[in-house]
Amino acid sequence: MGLTAGIIGLPNVGKSTLFNAITKSKALSANYPFATIEPNVGFVEIRDKRLENIVQIVKPRNVVYTSFSFTDIAGLVKGASLGEGLGNQFLANIREVDAICHVVRCFTDSDVIHVNGVIDPINDIETINLELTFADLEVIEKRLPKIEKKAQLKVDKDAEVEYKILMMAKDALSAGKALRDLPFTKEQLELIKNYNFLTLKPMIYVLNVGENEIKTDNEMILKVKEYAKKTNTEVVKISAQIEEEISDLPEEDRAMFLDDLGIEESGLDQLVKKSYDLLGLATYFTAGEKECRAWTFKKGMKAPECAGIIHSDFEKGFIRAEVISYDDFMQYGGLQKAKEAGKMRSEGKDYVFKDGDIVLFRFNV
């Protein structure tokens, strides 16, 4: 179960620099608008320290981390929903992602031009959000006439329900609200999921700051944080330039570099954690001499569903899951010792997996 995050923002806010840093790619990063035209896609391993600690104890022949993909989408501009700056093409790319990382420029640098000629992060945010809103409204307005008559005559129950949801969405968007802020039911979300509404996708504001603002907040950063609070949007502060500089360093040098800057956790690590929380994702582990591996699952999934992430046969023939918590595994120094201490549980089909579970599936096909 992979996560796909799209990196969006105005031109020249640091999207491609950030993309290069987190994926160790070499996408073109240039000081002019639309340096990125085709979306760049890169994968990044999630270096979960828990898996590294498990590996130290088990010493397997192979280690597999979970990963997710980042898509560097070309800079949007005002009028993108009408096709400005190749906008329709770029908006289509955003529809394919699970979450949106909205990069906002919060640094001053006379050598890096701003597409609007002035650095105003709130205006930048509202420009992008407005284009996403317009794009969603266009989808709704194209669909409504096709189902309106059926809904009003009440001859098609599905059309009636869909019409009601789309009208609610249209009213919200027209009032300046994002669809992610509406109290949709699970059934309603299932009904409209194929529309891939842009403002329904979880969003994080990624504040691209200068090296000097990593530990302190300038006026621009404070304004964005206040703005984000009003819309319940997560914020991560990153210096894309620093992240790119440390991306190719060995792990020990990287840790030393961060320590010299007085930073406990890299911006990438913070972004990964918040992305996981935002999408309701968690991790379980399998641990054996042949392989130790991390697996991503959605919170609330039951044991057979989690088994199916490994292979569909595991879910079809599920018998039980033998589970040890990560904390017990570390406390007792491995699966066997934790089992001898009575910390291994045999769980059935109704067991809801927890983040950090270490599991051995029993199945029969």
Mean model confidence pLDDT for the chain: 85
Which has more pLDDT, 24 or 160? 160
Q: Which long-range contacts (CB under 8 A, 24 or more apart) does 17-20 make?
A: 17/208, 17/240, 17/241, 17/243, 17/244, 18/101, 18/103, 18/206, 18/208, 18/238, 18/240, 18/243, 18/244, 19/70, 19/72, 20/244, 20/247
More confident site: 32 or 38: 38
Maximum average pLDDT range among 15-29, 39-53, 100-114, 297-311: 297-311
* CB contact set of 282 (below 8 Å; sequence gap of 6+): 276, 296, 297, 298, 299, 353, 354, 355, 356
Between the alpha carbon of residue 338 and those of residues 284, 328, 342, 344, the distances in Å are 17, 6, 7, 7
At residue 37, the pLDDT reads 43
Pair 71, 6: CB distance under 8 Å: yes
Residue scoring higher pLDDT (55 or 114): 55
Q: Which of 84, 97, 71 is nearest to 33 (CA)?
A: 84
Instruction: State the pLDDT at residue 81.
Output: 45
Side chain identity at residue 31, one-letter code: N
Residue 89 C-beta-side C-alpha neighbours within 13 Å? 11
pLDDT band at 2, cuts 50/70/90? low
User: Bigger pLDDT: 244 or 319?
Assistant: 319
Q: What pLDDT score does 346 carry?
A: 96
Q: What is the pLDDT of residue 38?
A: 53
Mean pLDDT of 111-136: 80
Please give the average per-residue pLDDT across 144-164, as a whole number.
88
The percentage of residues in the chain with a pLDDT greater than 90, rounded to a whole number, is 49
Q: Mean pLDDT check: name the lowest of 11-20, 55-64, 174-183, 287-296.
A: 11-20
Round to whole Å and give the CA distance between 101 and 275: 9
46-50, 83-87, 141-145, 317-321: which has the minimum mean pLDDT? 83-87
More confident residue, 261 or 217: 217
Written as one letter, the residue type at 300 is G
pLDDT band at 45 (very low <50, low <70, confident <90, very high): confident
Angle at CA of residue 231, ends 226 and 233, nearest 5°: 85
Buried b (16+ CB within 10 A) or exposed e, 125-145: bebbbebbbbbbbebbeebee
Q: Which of 1-5, 133-137, 253-257, 294-298 has the lowest mean pLDDT?
A: 1-5
Assess contact for 63 and 293: CB atoms under 8 A. Answer: yes
* Better-predicted residue by pLDDT, 117 or 193: 193
**pLDDT score at 7:** 86
Q: Is the pLDDT of residue 29 over 70?
A: no
Q: What is the average per-residue pLDDT within 110-127?
A: 74
Top-confidence residue, 285 or 67 = 285
Q: CA-based angle 298:304:309, to the nearest 5? A: 55
Each residue of 49-69: pLDDT tens digit? 899 999 999 999 999 998 878
Assign 142 a pLDDT band (cuts: 50, 70, 90): very high
Average pLDDT over residues 133-158: 89
For residue 71, list its beta bridge partners. Answer: 6, 41
Q: pLDDT at residue 83 above 60?
A: no
Average pLDDT over residues 281-286: 95
Over residues 298-309, the pLDDT tens digits come to 999 999 999 999
pLDDT at 267: 80
How many CA atoms are closer than 13 Å to the CA of 308, on its beta-carbon side?
11
Contacts of 320 (CB under 8 A, 6+ apart): 303, 346, 347, 348, 361, 362
Distance CA 98, CA 76 (A): 18
51 close to 57: Cβ distance less than 8 angstroms: no
Per-residue model confidence as pLDDT tens digits over 324-349 = 999 999 999 999 999 999 999 999 99
Radius of gyration of the chain (CA): 23
Q: What is the DSSP string of 95-125?
A: TT-SEEEEEEE----TTS--TTSS--HHHHH
The whole-number pLDDT of residue 236 equals 92
CB-count burial class (<10 Å; 0-12, 13-18, 19+) for 48: middle
